[in-house]
Amino acid sequence: VRLVESGGGLVQAGGSLRLTCVASGSIFSINTMGWYRQTPGTQRELVANISPSGSTMYADSVKGRFTISRDNAKVTVHLQMNSLKPEDTAVYYCNRYVLGESDWGQGTQVTDSS
Protein backbone atom coordinates (compact mmCIF):
# COMPACT_ATOMS: atom_id res chain seq x y z
CA VAL A 1 0.00 0.00 0.00
CA ARG A 2 1.31 3.41 -0.94
CA LEU A 3 0.14 6.75 0.47
CA VAL A 4 1.36 9.99 -1.06
CA GLU A 5 0.71 13.31 0.63
CA SER A 6 0.83 16.75 -0.90
CA GLY A 7 -0.30 20.29 -0.16
CA GLY A 8 1.98 21.31 2.67
CA GLY A 9 3.94 24.53 2.70
CA LEU A 10 4.46 27.90 4.33
CA VAL A 11 1.40 29.72 5.59
CA GLN A 12 0.80 32.73 7.78
CA ALA A 13 -1.21 32.46 10.97
CA GLY A 14 -4.88 32.65 10.11
CA GLY A 15 -4.34 31.22 6.67
CA SER A 16 -5.51 27.98 5.09
CA LEU A 17 -4.02 24.92 3.48
CA ARG A 18 -5.52 21.80 1.99
CA LEU A 19 -3.61 18.56 2.33
CA THR A 20 -4.25 15.65 -0.03
CA CYS A 21 -3.39 11.98 0.31
CA VAL A 22 -3.70 9.60 -2.61
CA ALA A 23 -3.76 5.89 -1.85
CA SER A 24 -2.93 2.89 -3.97
CA GLY A 25 -2.59 -0.83 -3.45
CA SER A 26 -5.53 -1.39 -1.15
CA ILE A 27 -9.31 -1.40 -1.24
CA PHE A 28 -9.54 2.24 -0.23
CA SER A 29 -13.20 2.27 0.69
CA ILE A 30 -12.80 -0.18 3.58
CA ASN A 31 -9.96 1.69 5.26
CA THR A 32 -10.20 4.17 8.07
CA MET A 33 -8.12 7.09 6.84
CA GLY A 34 -6.40 9.52 9.14
CA TRP A 35 -4.12 12.50 9.36
CA TYR A 36 -1.48 12.66 12.07
CA ARG A 37 1.19 15.23 12.80
CA GLN A 38 4.54 15.26 14.50
CA THR A 39 7.03 17.88 15.65
CA PRO A 40 10.66 17.17 16.56
CA GLY A 41 11.00 15.39 19.88
CA THR A 42 7.31 14.62 20.23
CA GLN A 43 5.10 11.64 19.52
CA ARG A 44 2.99 11.52 16.42
CA GLU A 45 -0.52 12.62 17.30
CA LEU A 46 -3.89 12.08 15.68
CA VAL A 47 -5.32 15.15 14.00
CA ALA A 48 -8.43 13.66 12.42
CA ASN A 49 -9.74 10.45 10.96
CA ILE A 50 -12.65 9.32 8.84
CA SER A 51 -14.23 5.88 8.82
CA PRO A 52 -15.38 3.93 5.76
CA SER A 53 -18.92 5.15 6.49
CA GLY A 54 -17.78 8.78 6.72
CA SER A 55 -17.83 9.23 10.49
CA THR A 56 -15.19 11.69 11.58
CA MET A 57 -13.16 12.34 14.69
CA TYR A 58 -10.96 15.34 15.48
CA ALA A 59 -8.38 16.28 18.04
CA ASP A 60 -9.72 18.96 20.38
CA SER A 61 -7.00 21.34 19.22
CA VAL A 62 -8.32 21.41 15.63
CA LYS A 63 -12.08 21.10 16.10
CA GLY A 64 -13.92 23.80 14.22
CA ARG A 65 -10.85 24.66 12.13
CA PHE A 66 -9.94 21.47 10.26
CA THR A 67 -12.15 19.26 8.12
CA ILE A 68 -11.32 15.76 6.90
CA SER A 69 -13.05 14.32 3.87
CA ARG A 70 -12.66 11.36 1.56
CA ASP A 71 -13.45 10.58 -2.05
CA ASN A 72 -13.54 6.82 -2.50
CA ALA A 73 -13.84 7.08 -6.27
CA LYS A 74 -10.59 9.05 -6.40
CA VAL A 75 -8.97 7.05 -3.55
CA THR A 76 -8.19 10.37 -1.91
CA VAL A 77 -8.48 11.87 1.55
CA HIS A 78 -8.21 15.59 2.22
CA LEU A 79 -7.54 17.70 5.26
CA GLN A 80 -8.80 21.28 4.93
CA MET A 81 -7.00 23.41 7.48
CA ASN A 82 -8.38 26.87 8.21
CA SER A 83 -7.45 29.52 10.77
CA LEU A 84 -4.00 28.01 11.07
CA LYS A 85 -2.02 28.72 14.21
CA PRO A 86 1.74 28.65 14.81
CA GLU A 87 1.26 25.52 16.90
CA ASP A 88 -0.09 23.71 13.84
CA THR A 89 3.45 23.69 12.43
CA ALA A 90 4.41 20.03 12.00
CA VAL A 91 4.98 17.25 9.53
CA TYR A 92 1.58 15.86 8.60
CA TYR A 93 1.25 12.16 7.80
CA CYS A 94 -1.51 10.26 6.09
CA ASN A 95 -2.46 6.90 7.57
CA ARG A 96 -4.68 4.07 6.57
CA TYR A 97 -5.92 1.33 8.89
CA VAL A 98 -7.99 -1.79 8.35
CA LEU A 99 -8.16 -5.13 10.15
CA GLY A 100 -4.92 -4.61 12.05
CA GLU A 101 -2.97 -3.37 9.06
CA SER A 102 -1.63 0.16 8.96
CA ASP A 103 0.52 2.17 6.56
CA TRP A 104 1.95 5.67 6.52
CA GLY A 105 2.81 8.21 3.90
CA GLN A 106 6.12 10.03 3.80
CA GLY A 107 4.71 13.20 5.32
CA THR A 108 4.27 16.78 4.21
CA GLN A 109 5.59 19.79 6.10
CA VAL A 110 3.30 22.59 7.25
CA THR A 111 5.12 25.64 8.59
CA ASP A 112 3.95 28.91 10.06
CA SER A 113 5.65 31.75 8.22
CA SER A 114 4.58 34.53 10.58
Compute mean pLDDT per 10 residues along the chain, 114 residues long, and list them: 95 96 88 96 97 97 98 95 97 95 96 88
Q: What is the pLDDT at residue 109?
A: 98
Q: What is the pLDDT at residue 38?
A: 98
Q: What is the pLDDT at residue 29?
A: 85
Strand 101-104 versus strand 45-50 pairing type: unpaired
Selection from 89, 74, 99 nearest residue 42 by Cα: 89
